[in-house]
Chain A
Amino acid sequence: MSDVTHLTMTEALALLGKGELTSVDLTKAHLAGMEQARSLNAYITETPEKALAMAGESDKRRKAGQAGLLEGIPLAIKDLFCTEGVQTTAGSHILQGFKPPYESSVTTNLWNQGAVMLGKANLDEFAMGSSNMTSHYGAVKNPWKRKGDERDLVPGGSSGGSAAAVAACLAMGATGTDTGGSIRQPAAFCGIVGIKPTYGRCSRFGIVAFASSLDQAGPMTRTVGDAALMLKAMAGHDPKDSTSAPQPVPDFTKSVGASIKGMKVGVPKEYRPDGLSADIIGAWDKGLAWLKEAGAEIVEVSLPHTKYALATYYIVAPAEASSNLARYDGVRFGLRVPGNSLDEMYMKTRAEGFGREVKRRILIGTYVLSAGYYDAYYAKAQKLRTLIASDFSQAFETADVLLTPTAPTPAFGLGENLDDPITMYLNDVFTIPTSLAGLPGLSLPVGLSSDGLPLGLQLIGRPFDEETVFKAAHVMETAAQFKRWEAR
C-alpha cells in the first residue's frame, strides 16, 4: 500500500474494519496531502485539529463496536454547509469570519455516521458559477492539465474545491451542492463521480441558500460505490426543511453491481446540438455501447422544451437568489461597512461584500420579479419549468434512465470565459434541465479528451429512483476502466 489517500472509501473502510488502518492515520495522511497541495486552493478553511479529534473519537467508536456507515472516513465539506463553530463563508466576503452556532442537517448526518471533517472546501461565491473563479477566496486549480500544457485549468463549479480535493486525494469524498450543475459539471471536469439526488432527498437545513427550489446536496467521490454509500449517509427526511421529502432512503449500495438487463436507456435527441465536439460525441457513443453490451436497450426520447431550459433557469435561480441574499445586510452577522444611515450601511456593505457575479444575479433576479416584468419573466419561466418537467415524465414512459453528456466541453483554462457570462452559463446546458425538473443526475468519468482531460457523462433518473442511476453508472464505470488522476 503506497498511499492511503489513494484508497476508495470502500477500500479504506475494509482496512479500518480489519484494524489494519486507523482513522487518525488516514486523517493525518490527508492533512499532509492538503498541506502539500495548498497551491490548488481547494480548501478555504482547513480544520486539522478538529479532524484529528474527530478521527480519534471515531477510532474509539470502532473499537467499541459502534461503527457508522462512514466510520473514520475523512471528508471535505463544501463551504456552503454551516458547520458549528467553524467559519462558513459561502465563498463570499460578506460572510467572512461567520461561525454558525448550528450544524447543517446533512453534515450532522455524516458525523452521526462517523465521518471526519478535514476542512471547508472552496466554491464559487454563493455557489454562483461554473469555474470556481468567483470565489472571494481565490480560484481553485484543477489537478488535471492538458497533455503537454502546463497552464492551469478550472475545476468547474460551483463545487470546484470539493471536486479538486477529491480528484487530488485531499479528501476521500466531499459534499457538494447542485443548483444547475454545480456537482455534476465539476465532477466531470475533475474526473470524479458526483450525484445530485432528487430534489428533496437531502435536507437543505443549514445550507446557505442560493436558489431554494433548485438547491440540492449530494456526494462527490472517486467511485460510484462510494457515491452510493455517502449518499445513503447524507440523505433522509428532515422536519426542519419543509421541502425535504418524507421518503425512505434505500440502501443505494445494493444497486452497485446489480444487473441492467432489459433496462431502457433513453437518448434525448435535443442533446446533440450542432458543433458538439467529437470528443464528447465519441464518449457518449462509447457509453451507450457499454450499456447495450450489458443488456440494456437504447431508445431515442425527445425533450422538446430543452432549448428554453437555460433561459428559464437564469430567471428562476436569480429571482430566488435576489430574495435569499437580502438577509446579508450587515445588521446581524458577517461583514458590516458603516454608513451614515441605514440605507447607506446596506449599500456599502453589499457593495463591498458581494462580488461581480453575485451582484449580476441579484440585479437579474430583482428585475425579473419587478412590477410590470413579473408576468413576462418569472411567471412565464414557471410555466416553462412545468413543461420541461413534463418532457421528462413523458421520456420516462419509454426509458428507465437517460444518458447525456455532463458538459459541452472538458475543463477550460483559468480566466477563460470570464468576459462573457453567456458562454459561461452555456456550460450547464446539459445539467440545468434536470435541476429544473428536480430529477437525480449523476456524472461519472468515462474517458479522456484528445488533449488528455476527463470527460463525464450524465445519467438522469426518475424522481427518487437513484437506484437505477447507480446500477447503470456502475456498469459504465466497470467498462470504462477510467484511470483516475492519482493513477497517472
Chain B
Amino acid sequence: MAYLIEGDTGPWEIVVGLEVHAQVVSNAKLFSGAATAFGADPNSQVSFVDAAFPGMLPVINEMCVEQAVRTGLGLKAQINLESVFARKNYFYADLPQGYQISQYEKPLVGEGEVIVDLPDGRSTVVGIERLHVEQDAGKSMHDQHPSKSCIDLNRSGVALMEIVSRPDIRSPDEAGAYLRKLRSILRYLGTCDGNMEEGSMRADVNVSVRKSGEDYRTRCEIKNVNSVRFVMQSIEVEARRQIELYESGGTVLQETRLFDPGKGETRSMRSKEHAHDYRYFPDPDLLPLKLSPDFVAKIKASLPELPDEKKDRFVRDYGLTPYDAGVLVVDRASADFFESVAKGRDSKLAANWVMGDLFGALNSTGKTIDTSPVSAAHLGELIDLITDGTLSGRLAKDVFALMVESGKAPSVLVEEKGLKQVTDTGAIEAVIDQVMAANADKVAEYRSGKDKLFGFFVGQVMKASGGKANPGVVNDLLKSKLAG
C-alpha cells in the first residue's frame, strides 16, 4: 500500500532522499594525527592542522580510506579507484580552514543499494547515489557566555562519510527503516558506531511532494536531524506544510530548513538566493586519491557476513520466518546470541526465547544484548531442560525470571529452589490417590458421566504437587485411575 497524504485536492505522494553523515570509526582524524574520542575536554584533541595554522598541510589517514571503502563494499557499491578531494569554501567560526575538505566531482564510492525491510513485511530497495569522505567542522557553543560564542575544535577534521541516497523513499516509515538498516550495515562493518545521540550519525532530509505520476517538484532540505524518530516526524511535518502551501495556491521555494521537534514544525534557515556559493575546486594540497585493485580486493575479502546475507541464512538454515530472521539480524550481537543458543537445539524454540522473553527482559531492565544478565549458554541450558522434560513450559518461565534477576545458571536455580518437574509416577500416583480420597464425591460424579470434572482433578493434583508434577504424566495417570 502506497503511503499517501490526503489533501483537499486529493492524495499526495511524498518523495524523500537522505544524506547521511556517518562518523568514521578511526583513532585519528582524516588529515591529522589528532585523536577522535567522544566526550573529551573541549579543544583537547586538536592539532595545528585541525586548527588551520599557517603552513599546515593535510595528510590522508589511510585507515579512514579503508573504512570508507569497506562501507562502499557493504553497500554493494562501485569503488572508484581514483577520487579527488575538493575544497568547499565558506566562512564560519568553527571551520578553521575557511573550507571543508570534501569530495565533489569524483567521490570515492559510486552507486550502490540498500534493501529496506518495512514493518508490514514488504521489502524495498533504496538506491545509493554516492558516498564521499569529508572533514567534520568544529562545534560552536552560543550558550556559554552572554555575549561571546565558544568554539570546540575537537571534532574539527574528524572523518565523515556522506552517504547520499536516491530520492527513492516514499514514506516516513521507509525513511526510518532505511536509516535503521543503514545503521545496522555500518555497525556490522565496524565503520561507524551509528550513535545518533552522540552525533556520530546525522541526516539531511530532502523532501518534496507530488501528485501521482508527476515529475519531481521543488524540494526542501531539512538540515542535521539527529534521530530516526525526528527524521520520520520531520518528513511528515514538512510534507504537510508543502501540501498546504500548494493547495492554498502557493509555491514551495527551494531552501534549507530546520526541524524543531518541540514545536513539531520546520522553519526556513536560508533560501536559495542566500545559499552559499561553495566555490568547490580540487584541493591542491592533496594529490588525487589512487587505490590499487589489490587494496580493494583485500578489504572485500575481509568483509563480515552482512545483515541481508545473515537473514537469508537464518531463514534457510534455521527455518525461521523472514520476519523473525530480520529482527534477529538487526545487530550482530543479537544474531550471534541467537546462533549460539540455537546451535544443536530446536531453532524455533531458540528464536522464540530470544525474541520474546529475552528481548522483553532486556527492554524492561534497560539493558542491551551485550550487557544481558542471561548469557547465551544459560539460555541454551534452559532450553535443554525443557526439552529433556526437567522443566515444564511454565516452570521454565519462572526459572527464566530468576535468571534475569540473579544471572545464575538455570541448573543451579532448579537445584536451589527445588523447581524440578516431578515425573516419578509413584510420587504422582500418591498425590492422585490423596486428591481422589479427599474428593470422593467428585470422583463419583465423574464416574457417573460428568467428565468435565477432569480439569478439576488435574488442577488439584498440580496444586498439591506445587506445580512440579509433569502435566503429561498427571494426565495419563489420572485418566486410568479415575476410570477405576
Contacts and interface: CB of A to CB of B under 8 A. Distances in A.
Interface of A: 81-82, 88, 90, 95, 98, 100-102, 104, 204-209, 211-213, 239-243, 319-320, 322-323, 325-327, 329, 331-333, 342-343, 346, 366, 369-371, 374, 378
A269 B285 CA distance: 34
B284 A213 contact: yes
B281 A88 contact: no
Interface of B: 48, 51-60, 87, 89, 91-93, 96-99, 149, 151, 277, 279-281, 284-287
Given A101-B48, A242-B60, A346 B55 contact: no
Given A101-B53, A212-B285, 13 more contacts: A82-B55, A95-B54, A207-B55, A213-B284, A240-B57, A241-B59, A242-B286, A242-B287, A243-B287, A327-B52, A331-B96, A332-B52, A343-B91
B55 A333 contact: no
A205 B54 CA distance: 9
Given A326-B91, A331-B93, A208 B284 contact: no
Contact of A323 (B87, B151, B277): B87
B57 A98 contact: no
A327 B57 contact: no
Most buried by B among A322, A332, A343: A332
Given A212-B285, A323-B89, A329 B98 contact: yes
Interface SS majority for chain B: loop
Contacts of B149: 342
Contacts of A325: 98
A207 B55 CA distance: 5
Nearest to B277: A371
A333 B51 CA distance: 10
A106 B321 CA distance: 66
B288 to A, nearest CB: 11
Contacts of A98: 54
A399 to B, nearest CB: 28
Nearest to B92: A342
A90 B284 contact: no
Contact of A342 (B53, B93, B286): B93
B289 to A, nearest CB: 10
A242 B57 contact: yes
Contacts, number: 101
Contacts of A104: 55
Contacts of B277: 370-371
Contacts of B281: 319-320, 323, 369, 374, 378
Contact of A320 (B48, B96, B284, B286): B284
14 contacts: A81-B55, A98-B54, A102-B53, A204-B55, A212-B285, A242-B286, A322-B89, A323-B87, A326-B89, A326-B91, A327-B98, A332-B96, A369-B279, A371-B279
A227 B375 CA distance: 73
A366 B279 contact: yes
A375 to B, nearest CB: 12
A212 B54 CA distance: 12
A243 B284 CA distance: 8
A262 to B, nearest CB: 36
Contacts of B51: 332
A358 to B, nearest CB: 14
A329 B91 contact: yes
Contacts of B99: 323, 326
A206 B58 contact: no
A323 B54 contact: no
Nearest to B147: A340
B55 A205 contact: yes
Nearest to A369: B279
Nearest to B87: A323
Nearest to A334: B54
A241 B57 contact: yes
B54 A100 contact: yes
